[in-house]
Amino acid sequence: MTVTKVHIINSVSNHLDLSKTKSAQVVESLLDIIKETLESGEDVLISGFGKFCVKEKGKRRGRNPHTGEDLMLAEKRVVRFMCSPVLKGKVNGEG
């Protein structure tokens, strides 16, 4: 099952005994802070969880999968997530 923003809002509401409206505001604010930070090119480090990084990808050759035509892909910025050793351990059942 995929966890959606609604699931997160409901979970925050239940854990912190907040109204769904307040929980939605908290979750939206957190996501806005993360988005704004990444848009400015800075990394977001959440201890015990992981790090979101903005990486620059240069121009490169690509191929249209539908037609097979070669083309040049423009430069772009992408977001990468690197999980912390703590989270990695929990996912692998190590604690």
pLDDT band at residue 1 using 50, 70 and 90 as cut-offs: confident
| DSSP assigned state of 18 | -
Domains of the chain from N-terminus onward: 1-40 (no CATH), 41-95 (4.10.520.10)
Summarize pLDDT for 77-88 with one digit per residue, the tens: 999 999 999 999
- Distance between CA 44 and CA 62 in Å, rounded? 30
- How does pLDDT run across 8-66, given as a tens digit for each residue? 999 999 999 999 999 999 999 999 999 999 999 999 999 999 999 999 999 999 999 99
What gap in Å lies between CA 26 and CA 94, rounded to an integer?
Answer: 31
Which residues, 6 or more positions from 72, have their beta carbon under 8 angstroms from its beta carbon?
59, 60, 61, 62
pTM here?
0.80
| Alpha-carbon 36 to chain mean position | 12
